[in-house]
Amino acid sequence: MRDKSLIGPWVRRFLLEHLVTDRNLSRNTQASYRDTLVLLLPYVSQAQEKAVDRLTIDDLSPSVVRSFLGYLEKERGCSGTTRNVRLATIHSLAKFIGTHSPEHVAWCAGIRAVPFKKTAKSTLSHLDKP
């Protein structure tokens, strides 16, 4: 990879190598990860006023991720659970990049610090425990 700061090559490796070969995820799960990125990348592109193919890893900041999650809920009408699934994909991408590019470990930590939203299901899960 020539320019480690561009996000495009990382997304390609994540989708085509990591999810398929390393994690051996089902096709439906792979499609869910892809669909998240299909929504996320144009959103970041618009927020940063940059072409998608010029986006860098630093363009995907924790504040942009939080804004994206708000957009999913408010504009797209997604539930808290769907929001959390999308965030899990973003966390997974950040972990993948951080693992393979030590210079992005701090960025990875910032992205992975964006919290999941408590949902009714997660709030009630303590009732199942004795």
Q: Report angle CA 44, 18, 116 to the nearest 5 degrees.
A: 50
Q: Report angle CA 25, 26, 31 to the nearest 5 degrees.
A: 95
Region 35-62: mean pLDDT is: 97
Confidence of residue 31 (pLDDT cuts 50, 70, 90): very high
State residue 49 phi and psi, 5-degree precision: 55, 50
Percent of the chain with pLDDT over 70: 89
pLDDT number for residue 4: 81
pTM to 2 decimal places: 0.89
